[in-house]
Structures are given as C-alpha cells and as structure tokens.
C-alpha cells in the first residue's frame, strides 16, 4: 500500500482482518493530518492502533519479509516501492496516496493486481482496478475512462466545507504543540509554519494536524477542525474510509476467486 493516511489505514485494517499481510509505504506528499485515524505515526516509533489493529515500524526489507509471515501487526515503513519490490513478488499493490494534482504512475505489471484509489487512475492506462474516493462516489469501481479529477470542493462536515481547514501559504518547517482531539476556538494559534502563526479557522475539535517538526510544501492542508461538538470524530475509521476499504477488499477477493477478472463492485461510468 502506497500511503499512510486514514484512507490507506482503513483499507489496511480491512485487508488485515481478511488475513492479508499488509505493508504501508510512506510518501511525504501530501502530509498526513488525520493521524489518530491512521498508522502514520508508527513511522516515528509511536504506539499506534486503528480500530484495535496495531501497527509497527519496519526499517528494512528483512524485517518486512519476516513480519508478513509471522506478525499480527500492520507494517509501516519508510521504504519506497523500489525497495519493497526487492523483498519479493507483490500480490496486491494499492496506491492510496490520493495525490490529487500529480501524475499517477503505471502500477501494472508491478504486482498481480494493481489498484488505484482516487484521481488520476484508469484500468486501461495505469492500474487493473480504479476506485473512486470522491465524496458521494466513494467506493465506486470505474470500468471505463478515468476516476474523477479533483474539483477543489471539500466535502461538508457539520455544515462546514473548506473553511474548516487551514492550508500552508508557503513551504517550511511546521511546529505545533496542540494535540488532536483538543477543543479549539477560532483564531487560536495552533502552530507555526516557518515562524508564521497558523490559527484555527473555526470553533470545534481538532480532527487532524500535521506532525510537529515536519517539512511541508506550499498549498497543502495543515490542519482540520471538526465543528460537530460532541459528535466530532478524530479516531478510528469514518464512513468514507470504511466504504472505500470495503470496495478494495471486494476487488481483491474477486480477483483471488477469479484471476484476471475485475471486482464485482458497484460501478460508475466515467
């Protein structure tokens, strides 16, 4: 699995429960903000679990090789795909990075089954199975054409859209001492990017924030506020992640039952 975000982690949990060995490979772009819903912080040696499934850092190919056969934990590694290809043949390769504005690589022939999540994927161009992640269409299998391009519209949460996020105005090192799950108020300083303060865009619960000490590029999400009060969610798997994860699991299991045949998942003509 390429990516360590909450979407990648939701997929990892569902595959793990179906008794697949799972490795998450870190990519620095975009930065992970919903870290309490993800295995991302295992990269730094933190104790991490998502919906009761623990994750652990794997530092080299030998550790990955052994863990896939004996560990009951999801492996999270700094190793990139070229490094992991030397460990052994990959049964399923999933690009869950959701890099909305970047060119997606051709994953075909790198694994027995290649799945692309989100913008930039087509089963006729760069993957075997393409799955939508856009809110309202999450989990839909695209059999023809391409998955939806990013439209820049944030899905609503508690009546708030893009206004619940703060974005990086430039690149630099990010510092914060505020914990995810904290109640915050509009205007409160939640961190500093290259020395410049970044304030809470609205009242609510801090749902996500880039890890302290990270180098971030310009134009990415730094933090997210959940305005729903006592109904806020900042841990576990949310509905969108669950829907996407179930679609991926269906695709994998369908391929296992009938090699070379696409999953019997909901379809949406592109």
Q: Are 201 and 164 in contact (CB under 8 A)?
A: yes
What sign has the CA pseudo-torsion 86, 244, 36, 18?
negative
The answer, yes or no, to whether residue 260 has pLDDT greater than 60, is no
Structure tokens that stand for 256 in this block: 């296992």
Task: Please tell me the total count of domains within the chain.
Answer: 2
257 by DSSP, 3-state: which? helix
Residues 6 or more apart whose Cβ sits within 8 Å of residue 156? none
Domain extent for 200:
162-227
- Report the alpha-carbon distance of residue 21 to residue 239 in Å, rounded: 23
Structure tokens that stand for 255 in this block: 């391929």
The answer to whether residue 270 sits within a structural domain is no
- Report the alpha-carbon distance of residue 41 to residue 196 in Å, rounded: 25
Return the number of other C-beta atoms located less than 10 Å from residue 100's C-beta: 15
Q: What are the pLDDT digits (tens) for 202-226?
A: 999 999 999 999 999 999 999 999 9
The answer to whether residue 102 sits within a structural domain is yes
Pair (60, 32) in one structural domain: yes
The answer, yes or no, to whether residue 266 has pLDDT greater than 90, is no
The answer to whether residue 198 sits within a structural domain is yes
The answer to whether residue 264 sits within a structural domain is no
The answer, yes or no, to whether residue 19 has pLDDT greater than 70, is yes
pLDDT-derived band at 69, boundaries 50, 70, 90: confident
What sign has the CA pseudo-torsion 153, 186, 195, 209?
negative
Helix axes 239-257, 6-17, angle to 10 degrees: 50
Pair (250, 123) in one structural domain: yes
Pair (127, 47) in one structural domain: yes
Pair (221, 101) in one structural domain: no
Which CATH number fits the domain that encloses residue 198?
A: 2.40.50.100
Pair (102, 187) in one structural domain: no
HSE value, Cβ hemisphere, 13 Å, CA-based, for 241: 23
Residue 3 is given by DSSP the state -
Q: What are the pLDDT digits (tens) for 131-173?
A: 999 988 999 999 889 999 988 788 888 889 899 999 999 999 9
The answer, yes or no, to whether residue 86 has pLDDT greater than 80, is yes
The answer to whether residue 68 sits within a structural domain is yes
CA 140 to chain centroid, in Å, comes to 17
- Report the alpha-carbon distance of residue 24 to residue 76 in Å, rounded: 5
Pair (102, 198) in one structural domain: no
Residues 6 or more apart whose Cβ sits within 8 Å of residue 177? 191, 212
Q: What are the pLDDT digits (tens) for 181-190?
A: 999 999 999 9
The answer to whether residue 268 sits within a structural domain is no
The answer to whether residue 262 sits within a structural domain is no
The answer to whether residue 246 sits within a structural domain is yes
Pair (176, 86) in one structural domain: no
Pair (111, 23) in one structural domain: yes
Pair (247, 124) in one structural domain: yes
pLDDT-derived band at 269, boundaries 50, 70, 90: very low
Pair (195, 110) in one structural domain: no
Pair (49, 73) in one structural domain: yes
The answer, yes or no, to whether residue 265 has pLDDT greater than 70, is no
| Mean of the per-residue pLDDT values of the chain | 92
Pair (109, 12) in one structural domain: yes
Question: Which of left, alpha, beta for 9 (phi over 0: left; psi -120 to 50: alpha)?
Answer: alpha
Residue 170: what are its φ and ψ, rounded to 5°? -160, 180
């Amino acid at each position: 699995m390429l990516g360590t975000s909450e979407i990648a982690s939701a997929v990892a949990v569902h595959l793990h429960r179906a008794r697949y060995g799972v490795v998450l490979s870190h990519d620095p772009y975009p930065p992970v903000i919903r870290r309490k819903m993800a295995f991302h912080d295992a990269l730094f040696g933190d104790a991490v679990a998502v919906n009761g499934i623990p994750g652990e850092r794997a530092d080299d190919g030998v550790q990955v090789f052994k863990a896939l056969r004996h560990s009951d934990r999801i492996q999270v590694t700094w190793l990139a795909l070229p490094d992991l290809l030397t460990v052994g043949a990959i049964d399923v390769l999933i690009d869950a990075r959701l890099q909305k504005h970047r060119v997606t690589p051709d994953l075909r022939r790198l694994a027995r089954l290649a799945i692309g999540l989100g913008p930039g994927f087509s089963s006729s161009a760069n993957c075997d199975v393409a799955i939508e992640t856009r809110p309202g269409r999450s989990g839909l299998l695209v059999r023809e054409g391409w998955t939806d391009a990013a439209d820049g519209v944030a899905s609503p949460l508690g009546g708030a859209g893009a206004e619940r996020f703060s974005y990086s105005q430039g690149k630099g090192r990010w510092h914060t001492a505020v914990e995810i799950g904290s109640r915050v108020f509009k205007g409160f300083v939640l961190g500093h990017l290259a020395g410049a303060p970044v304030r809470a865009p609205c009242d609510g619960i801090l749902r996500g924030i880039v890890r302290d000490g990270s180098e971030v590029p310009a134009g990415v999400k730094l933090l997210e506020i959940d305005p729903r009060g006592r109904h806020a969610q900042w841990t576990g798997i949310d509905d969108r992640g669950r829907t996407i994860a179930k679609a991926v699991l269906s695709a994998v299991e369908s391929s296992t039952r009938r090699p070379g045949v696409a999953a019997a998942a909901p379809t949406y003509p592109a």
